[in-house]
Amino acid sequence: MSHERHSPGAVTVTRYAVGDLQGCLEPLQALLEQVHFNPRTDQLWLVGDLINRGPDSLGTLRLLKNLGDCTRIVLGNHDLHFLAVACGVKKINKNDSFSDLLATEDLADTVHWLRHQPLLYTDPSGDYSMVHAGIPPQWDLQQARAMAGEVETLLRSDRFTELLANMYGNQPDHWDDSLLGWNRYRLITNYFTRMRFCSAEGKLDLLNKLDTSSDPHFAPWFTHPQRKMKDQQIIFGHWASLQGKARAKNIYALDTGCVWGGPLTMMNLDDKRLYTYK
């Protein structure tokens, strides 16, 4: 178990991170029971894609909201898509499975709660950062936090529906500090919630969802040798085809495709022990 790094005699806290839930409530409950999770003393980190495509989006969000302050959540692309549909700026897709959420009386409260979750979370101790998809090679932690903050500020403002309406699309596909407006925010959002492959300069390939690329210019974002955050531990999800095997130092891939028939994976952040449930 880990110890809070604040003062002698602080409460002992164990931090667990879990992969993409996508509405798979039963496996989450089983893992929480397996590790004897205590919301009064433990933390539950969630890499995003909390809902959609799985069997129980409503029950999953109910559980997470009820857990309260012990959760550390980052938003994934499915969470943002749900927000766009809930706010009426996007039509529901035939494969979406959150109609039960849309029909609830407290939908407005759920939308408010979700849009106040971050895109990037770093533990106060600095030992881990968590993101749904990734952090581009050209950004250090300070810049990544600043970029995430730009989108988070909009998402929490009265302009959030404009952001949601303008976030869809694959262009622009490479970073330039001079990018402005929706092009800037769309690319930032794509980096944090959709990225898998990119070039060393951060140019995105958003079409390939496999675990390898035939194009020598593109590689998994976490494998570029000059990546500025290579010495920092990063937890992410989004990439089920990796099956939890990133094979890179300081990188922990937790999406093992629970919604597609794989296991749900949870990691104790302090001893790095893995727990799975299928």
Domain definitions of the chain by residue range? 13-277
Q: Give the pLDDT confidence score for residue 157 in this predicted structure.
A: 98
Phi, psi of 80 (to 5 degrees): -65, -35
Model pLDDT, residue 7: 43
Answer yes or no: CATH 3.60.15.10 is held by domain 13-277. Answer: no
Question: What span, in angstroms and rounded, lies between the C-alpha atoms of 173 and 176?
Answer: 10
Helix (H, G, I), strand (E, B) or coil at 25: helix
Our separate counts of H helices and E strands in the chain read 8, 14
Structure token pair of residue 48: 């995003």
Q: What are phi and psi of 245, to 5 degrees?
A: -115, 90
Q: State phi, psi for 98 to the nearest 5 degrees.
A: -120, 25
Question: Backbone dihedral region of 174: left (phi > 0), alpha (psi from -120 to 50 degrees) or beta?
Answer: beta
- What is residue 209's predicted lDDT score, i.e. its pLDDT? 83
234: three-class secondary structure by DSSP: strand
Low-confidence stretches of the chain (pLDDT < 70) are 1-11
Query: How many angstroms separate the CA atoms of 74 and 117, rounded?
Result: 6
